[in-house]
Amino acid sequence: MTDTLVIVESPAKAKTIAKYLGSKYKVIASNGHIRDLPKSQLGIDVEHEFEPKYITLRGRGEVLEKIKKEAKQAKKVLLATDPDREGEAISWHLAEALKMDPAANCRVVFNEITKSVLQASIKKARPIDEKLVDAQQARRVLDRLVGYKISPLLWAKVRKGLSAGRVQSVATRMICDREQEINDFEQEEYWTITAHLNAPRARKAIEARFYGYNGQKTDIPDETSANKVLEQSEGAPFMLTEKKVAEKLRHAPAPFTTSSMLQEASRKLGLTPKMTMSLAQQLYEGVELGGKGSVALITYIRTDSVRVSSEAQAIALEHIRDTFGEDYVPSKPNIYKGRSSAQDAHEAIRPTNILLEPAMIKEYLRSSLFRLYKLIYERFLASQMNQAVYETTQLTFDANGCTYKASGVKTVFEGYTKVYTESTDDSEEKEGSLPELTEGMELTASEIVPARHFTQPPARFTEASLVKALEEKGIGRPSTYSPTISTIIDRGYVSREKKQLIPTELGFVVTQLMKDNFSDIVDVTFTADMESKLDEVEEGSKQWREVISDFYGPFEHSVEEAFKNVEHVKIPDEVSDVVCDKCGAMMVYKVGKFGRFLACPNYPKCQNTKRIVEKIGVKCPKCGAELIKLHSKKGRAFYGCERHPECDFVSWQKPAGENCPKCGKYMVQKIGKNGSYKQCSDTENCGYVMRSPNAKKVDDGE
């Protein structure tokens, strides 16, 4: 007989928790949801208050029977699924299946998997939060209604296999609208003029940019205007008329939310949101650290809060004081203000133990896990550190009535930047000090350089900037960012090319159909307002059935009208340059469950299909044939020989096309904090690192 049975979602999480709870507890995993709406039908009784019809998921019957058996042998059952709406719903479904009283103190929630937090959480076991369950149920029913009502229309009018969704349709529209802005953009010419000024005892020239005439800002729209500036400036002395020196403070960035983690992991580590969430889940649930066993390294990963517990903050400050000195500790602990719509149920993402520095556990983590842990660790540590202090200098010169300005930045105190520098999608301010000059000095120009430019259209979304835009507009929640982007790519609405998200013709067609017939579904404001209503359900100020009812009436009418009025849209398949080896036709690109593939256009007469071979321009180290990029069943990229199975070469890291000068084995391409570099594939015995000449120097075997 077990004293207490604890049920969590994943086996990895169960293993980590079991280590801390001891012999009186038995911890088992449900492997996620055990019940859901059926896939074969709508599963919602729209005639009777939208009552959901839940069934045991296929393949989960044995798991559920095992849970029931263990529950019967336990004196007490605790439900310890994730601390969010989805986790609450999983606990509710488990309680229903086990015939537990949801009002009993059976629900345990924790933000991090550590011994002290687990023990404290078990003492604070509470009833299942029906409001949280209702909010998740409302979202599930809404998404099912939208998907199962609109998708058949897309199948009938556009192409089989398509789908629509509340969040994915808005995200696709945002990408399509951005592409339309780019297509509609009209370039405008403008010029800049830079004077290279010689200064006493300066190692390099000061670059002063033309500002205007007699201190008044003036644009340079064309070559004629540029020539006028050159004629007036050339040969004239550049007198320093004003020197402004100021102190600039830069505050540390807040610790990670889900959104900011996805953005930074994309920019700094080159990880997709899907990859980041998968790795973060492993860090949260527990990683084997040698003799320490399974250890959870970070707190819960689905959060939009920037709050940090006072205990974690105090430990971090003490660590900063011991490691970097008193100057790096702020006079008052840093407190961050979250977004107005943020849910503050649990903390920001941080290490569970700030004393567990990345270097201490590097040997136990594979490269991608280590890099993400290091990113999260350094971001949190920096968030608790003192601000950085800079001295900014702005110089104003007059050259015969033409005003030029130069600026410089010098670090006075590095503060949090000693540990971490936040990246952005935009160009960052570059540091560069100016020589000591005094007002009234006259300098000469070694050259004055005019340059013609054209205004640029708005940038395409990257996965990082789309996540940022979705968060800013209130579309979706932390748990939806990654699956939303994966879905619109998998469905063929959007393609990912060199980090940019580009809408396909199919994406444009489906978005236009949605705009014409379901304007609310793809309206940013409407979708954000729906998220707010779901939050109100969670708060208890709205009933979930009322939210669904208000939405469903007009929506159902729109569906009926669309089936009557929308004409069939024929989208020609994109033709490839690959010849079908069975019938000789030129194969076309199709989109399936696992992404794009090649298919014969003469289907069903010819049913030939092929995977898309993406050559990387590198020869196989084993046989000299071409290497190709492949994907595992879980979507992870790897590299193999085109002659497989004759040649069995395979690598998770991208081969660099050259051999290690130290041991002769093949090198792989990697990305680190200081940019891309090459490393010997034999990291255990060699590990030689080769960086570009202008990169930070490292020793062999780093």
- Side chain identity at residue 55, one-letter code: I
Q: What span, in angstroms and rounded, lies between the C-alpha atoms of 468 and 494?
A: 18
Residue 1: pLDDT over 70: yes
The residue with greater pLDDT, 615 or 544, is 544
The residue with greater pLDDT, 219 or 428, is 219
Tokens found for residue 279: 């790795």
As to burial, measured by CB atoms within 10 angstroms (0-12 exposed, 13-18 middle, 19+ buried), residue 476 is buried
Residue 702: pLDDT over 50: no
Q: Report the C-alpha dihedral over residues 538, 540, 545, 550, rounded to 10 degrees.
A: -90
Q: What span, in angstroms and rounded, lies between the C-alpha atoms of 416 and 384?
A: 8
In this structure, of 31-45, 114-128, 550-564, 587-601, the range with the lowest mean pLDDT score is 587-601
Residue 414: pLDDT over 60: yes
Q: Which residues on neighbouring strands pair with residue 672, listed in sequence order?
A: 675
Residue 428: pLDDT over 50: no
Q: What span, in angstroms and rounded, lies between the C-alpha atoms of 654 and 645?
A: 19
**What is the residue-wise DSSP string for 227-257?**
HHHHHHHTT--EEEEEEEEEEEEEPPPPPB-
pLDDT tens, 515-549?
999 999 999 999 999 999 999 999 999 999 999 99
Alpha carbon 511 to chain centroid, angstroms:
23
- Provide the whole-model pTM: 0.82
Residue 674: pLDDT over 80: no
Residue 507's SS3 state is helix
Write down all domains in the chain, each with its CATH number in brackets. Answer: 2-128 (3.40.50.140), 137-185+459-565 (1.10.460.10), 189-251+388-454 (2.70.20.10), 258-383 (1.10.290.10), 574-612 (no CATH)
pLDDT tens, 75-121?
999 999 999 999 999 999 999 999 999 999 999 999 999 999 999 99
In this structure, of 161-165, 343-347, 364-368, 538-542, the range with the lowest mean pLDDT score is 343-347
For the chain, percent of residues with pLDDT exceeding 90 = 79
Would you say 198 and 444 are in contact if contact means Cβ atoms under 8 Å apart? Answer: yes
The residue with greater pLDDT, 223 or 202, is 223
Q: What span, in angstroms and rounded, lies between the C-alpha atoms of 355 and 336?
A: 23
**Catalytic residue annotation:** 300
Residue 605 CA: distances (Å) to CA of 364, 575, 597, 600: 53, 18, 18, 9
